[in-house]
Structure 1
Amino acid sequence: MSNSATDRAAIPGTLWAARGRHTGPATEDVVRRTLRRHREGGDIDDFAEPLMPEGSEHRIFEARWRAVGTVMVRARLTLVPWQSRPEGYAWTLVAEAEQPWDEAWPSPATLFWPEGGSAPGYDGDWDHHPTVAGLRFRQANALPEDDKEMRRLLREAAREAWCVNLVVHEAMTPDERGRLPLARLLPPGLRHRVLEHRAAPQQLRAVNWALKVLDVEVPRGGAVLLAPDPAPDGYDRGTYSVRSVFLDGSEPTELFGAVRHFVALPRPMPRDMAQALTDLRENWTLLTVREELERERRRVAMYADALEAMTKSRDLYRQAAEEAHEALAAYRDQPAPALPLPHQRPDATRTPSALHQLTRTFERLKFSPRTPRAAPPPDDAPGGHDRTDGADRPS
């Protein structure tokens, strides 16, 4: 179990969220009948069924009402076919109010689903746990006799839970009033968000062995709230353990105080709950006349901004093109510069380079008019003796 929740946003106080399974037939008809009845009775302002893409098996229902007559609430129910049972549907329900949620407000679940057996067309098969078979929200669920099965059930119920998991140990076998679920005594806004598990008197050791993996323990004759998975930083498990719970039909004040404190805790939001909330906010279709007018105004403003940006871009492009054409025309109209004649060129050889000096030196050596010296005449040539030095003559 991961106890790190730093990467999760906290559940906002304006959100009411629940999920479950409907195991009976004609799920969509059950929802439609319930919504029509509440609209006719004035409990909700209106409801709608947004169109889904062709071939999609999902079904969506939206409803809008005003809590205490003033606070707008928007709710979205999504139905997905249950794979193991063709007639069953898994459902998620998220409702967001304009103010922090008040536990005295009506439960959104009872505005989409029938609440009691006296309602017309009543179908009580909507309150099954979404992933763990055999668990129901409006019942006191007896824990299995098998220890390993009990441990598996509690671990799966706590994983990524949208609801509050409450484990109650019966100190002694309760009477008929004590066997009724405690959640029925909660305020409407909390009633369908609590899943109650009951441990028989002889199961105390087994249930605490099963809860060891969740790092909590239930007192004898008391109750404990299972830690959320993942748990927020600084979560104190001891705060949500109650030593004595009397199963005599009276309201367990201390236990309900712990439930209220737990619900108000800034718990990390499960991933699928975050996705459902995003769908509610971004894909909402049931608008009031005022909301439609505001949406159209935002759309007109968006189009105006886009048009203004396009106009500015067009003007800048036009200005750049005109400047480019002017520069090109000026370049074409300007006469080419006249090249100077050789004798008009600036004397750049006044300071000759070393290579140039070396070349001129070789040219002087090659073409200078120097007369070569005459070769001496041979010895047998006439008058050759006359050329002897005076030192050879006899004195």
Structure 2
Amino acid sequence: MLRHPRSFTPCSAGEGKPQARLPGVFFFWTVQKKRTIVARKYLYRLRYLKNFFYFVTGVYNICLHAIWADRYGCFVEKISREGFKVLSTRARRFNFFLKNVIKPPQAFIPMTPGVMRGLRWVVEAGNKVISRTPAHVSIKDVNAGGVPGEWTTCGDEIVQGKVIYYLHGGGYFFCSPATHRPFVWRLSRETKVPVLSLDYRMVPEYTLDDCRQDAVKGYKWLLEQGYDSDSIVIGGDSAGGGLTLLTLLFLRDNGIPLPKAAFCLSPFADMTATSPTFTSNLSTSHMFHKNALTKVENYLSAGKDPRDPYVSPAFGDYKGLPPLFVQASDTELLLNDSLLVVDRAKKAGVDVRFRLWHNLPHVFSVFSDFLPEGKAGVKEIAAFVNRHIHEESPALDNGS
């Protein structure tokens, strides 16, 4: 049996007519239509697969052990000080993950108390999965004047009688000492000093004043334990940096001995929601969208004057405060907060040092578990701490 080239049905030999004839144009149109439908379907699938790939790639790089960071940390620190704007592969991938996965939903998520609690749960749950504390790190729970906290030490040559008092960040509503352990134990290792990380009360259950009260209680508890104020360095990142400034202002205003020095990593210190870098750095910011920060600032300053120094420490009078170290990135939304703090401190005669890094995420030093630049940032902070608490020769350049 034979088939006519334009027929579905077989025909006998010698028969020139097919039993069913259809124009060739019909077959061409049908095939092209089917191809278009199939291609469109797979293009939709590829779009979702692409987004899933971006997410998995980001999580994969976060979860990797920081062997490369240990190997290249000093190199990154060296080239950054020489003025070269070079990012590690991990930093570029982390920036990509933050900008494409973490930042976009912030444009429309409402910052209600329920959402804040939900985000806190997600961060804490994720930290339990991702974070691992090495066996050589000692972590002990402590009651610091009625406020829970953690003592963290790393290394065998810990200097007794000196302490770093650390206040974690998280927008005053999420994170904890547990989420910041990778940064804290590295800071203890580099400074050979124990670190007290405070688990202060947070919004929405409590207020910004409650956060400050807990921070002051923890500091007073250290003094009661026999630590001299000249043996204490206080510091924090983001909201913890703002809380550090709030604590310093309160201690000075109430005649309580001030610590030897302080450091702030990208302090969250301006609650007016009018920062110019909210606009200028909106496209370059990797971690935050201005809508989310504006909602948080409005929530924290509700019913108060947002320019009150006990709400926005960036507008405080820094006269009489101890030496201050500020670290930030030039592409983040909260850059102006750091600039305001540094400007106020310089005008008040405070010995302030400012280190501005290029194209890195907010509080990049906190991510020292997997970012080479984070490890370099920790060493930079440790150099400042050692200069004051151990009275070593300065290892940092003058502030930018």
TM-score normalised to the size of structure 2?
0.24
Between Structure 1 and Structure 2, which shows a larger proportion of helix residues?
A: 2
TM-score normalised to the size of structure 1?
0.24
